[in-house]
A and B are shown apart, each in its own frame.
Chain A
């Protein structure tokens, strides 16, 4: 952490080719940075390894969501048709599992899908309408055809002059300081 520039958010490095970005990410990873990110218009092959990203635990959250839906559907059908308002129709049992399977299936899928949606955006910290990177004019092309690395100033290894030198050595086409 470098305290010499208190308003600094980080350093933005622009790349014009995805392979150059992947190579640069490996260097940043090996240099030991923790607070940094790569920004790309589309997911790029091999980036998880190049950035050293651990596989997300999102699937476990979703499993939980799905099981909740399953339990909720069973409880709801049992309580509504067999307990709260016993509904005798055509002499069928008040609570019969086979007849309840379609709703159980649908609610399992529904709860799992809602967990996926809100879990993914939540863990990504979105909606997040303001971010320092949006101040950069060149960053507007990140959703079209340019590739970026951001090294954040709050990283323990960050030292303005040294990190700027390091940024310049990564093979990008431009380096820019980002204000917070």
Chain B
């Protein structure tokens, strides 16, 4: 390939409005980019750190399954649930993991519709993270139903009782929302991955790799007639995934909002949950991407510019979440409803004040540090903030779920809830499952969407100025219509 790009300055975080910000640094050509990304999946042995990490994470996964086995054989009494707190860590963890997934869909679908070309470097990885997070999320409602052996009753399939699920229940809406979300995310992820799987297939050196990758790549041969339909399908999938992702956490919030409980029965929940989901999801993307770009030397593809954009999204959504917290408080006072105002005073100054103030510090105060450009563009500093955001967003769900339940209308029924070791180990174990899946993906999969990154790389022009020559998903339409229709 004679298409070489001019040397770019190393710092692409300085925005120059007169030219597009370079999204790939390091003077990459199409060839060197392909070599570099494929090499990660093609290395015969991963680095030693990978083995240590996967040993730890798969051990934790086993711990989780052991805890689930204990739960099923013994009963939900092994959890810390009591009366009135009948909904504990299981729902908290479910909402936490579903929320994490939202960043992947935001990056792959919404930023795509908004033509945010920087998404190409991180979308594949974020989509993978979405699917793994949704898998972790799906475990918790599956096990918290109590009688796990009849969990199939949540789906509208005929059973020996000849009963159907109640479609007026938000918990059933959840089944459809999360099920659709998982399916569509998987289709979107796989569709995006096919051209890159074909790249790996064409470079395969062993028979096994050639066959496995050959089947997974479906026989993709880069035909432009295929690209044409592929681009349309991708655009439409993005268009479908955009309202879908907003609906998923809205429906999750209905689980709370349609209840009568003070602190849950509010109309602010859907937008507030969605903002929080994106906030927590971006923090998780950052948590994973900062070490990965370092370990696999991807700093010229996932650049500081990308990290800075992630941090800006965290700042914006974190501020929205803070705004939602204050709105809740205002409405609790303004509504004049004594139960509602008691609930919020109780959140901030009652027995769970420690959890409330952890949440506020991590979610409202911590992201404000991202106003500093120095922090936005220094990966290790940002990484510390991501960890706080992850913690804060878990606590947000804990505060919402537990404070409202533990002290509702009748003081004689109040009770303090604390988890047992089974609760804690199941949740910690779900991180094991998540990281195991992430580690397997970074080891064997195309972690950067090569075909998409190539569309935003400037390719040396035969004459004139170098510019991206790839068709970034439907930029094609500036071609005159009579040319398009001629056949």
Binding site for B on A (CB under 8 A): 16-20, 29, 37-56, 58-59, 62, 76-77, 80-81, 84-85, 87, 89, 92, 96, 99-100, 102-103, 105-107, 109-110, 112-114, 116-117, 119-121, 123-124, 126-131, 133-134, 139-146, 148
Contact = CB atoms under 8 A, between A and B. Distances in A.
A101 to B, nearest CB: 9
B244 interface: yes
Given A52-B483, A106-B177, A109-B244, 12 more contacts: A40-B222, A47-B224, A52-B484, A59-B232, A85-B164, A102-B173, A103-B176, A106-B176, A106-B247, A124-B230, A142-B222, A145-B30
Given A43-B471, A47-B471, A116-B236, A126 B219 contact: yes
A123 to B, nearest CB: 6
Contacts, number: 246
Given A49-B484, A52-B483, A124-B229, A110 B183 contact: yes
Interface of B: 1-3, 29-31, 34, 156, 162-168, 170, 172-173, 176-177, 179-180, 183-184, 187-188, 191, 195, 198-199, 201-203, 214-215, 218-233, 236-237, 240-241, 243-244, 247, 251, 254, 451-452, 454-455, 459, 461-462, 468-471, 473, 475-476, 479-480, 483-487
A143 B179 CA distance: 33
A54 B484 contact: yes
Nearest to B202: A140
* Chain B interface, >50% SS class: helix
A80 B214 contact: no
A39 B228 contact: no
A99 B171 CA distance: 12
Contact of A81 (B164, B195, B461): B164
Given A42-B470, A100-B167, A48 B479 contact: yes
B223 to A, nearest CB: 5
12 contacts: A39-B221, A41-B30, A41-B195, A55-B232, A80-B156, A81-B167, A81-B168, A102-B254, A106-B244, A113-B241, A121-B218, A144-B30
B168 A56 contact: no
B476 A87 contact: no
Contacts of A133: 221
Contacts of A39: 221-224
A73 to B, nearest CB: 8
Nearest to A99: B168
Given A117-B187, A117-B237, A40 B254 contact: no
A59 B1 CA distance: 36
A113 B184 contact: yes
A142 B221 contact: yes
A89 B462 CA distance: 71
A49 to B, nearest CB: 4
A141 B1 CA distance: 11
A119 B209 CA distance: 28
Contacts of A114: 183, 187
Nearest to A46: B479
Contacts of B214: 129
A48 B473 CA distance: 12
Nearest to B184: A113
B459 A52 contact: no
Contacts of A117: 187, 191, 233, 237
Contact of B469 (A18, A53, A131, A134): A18
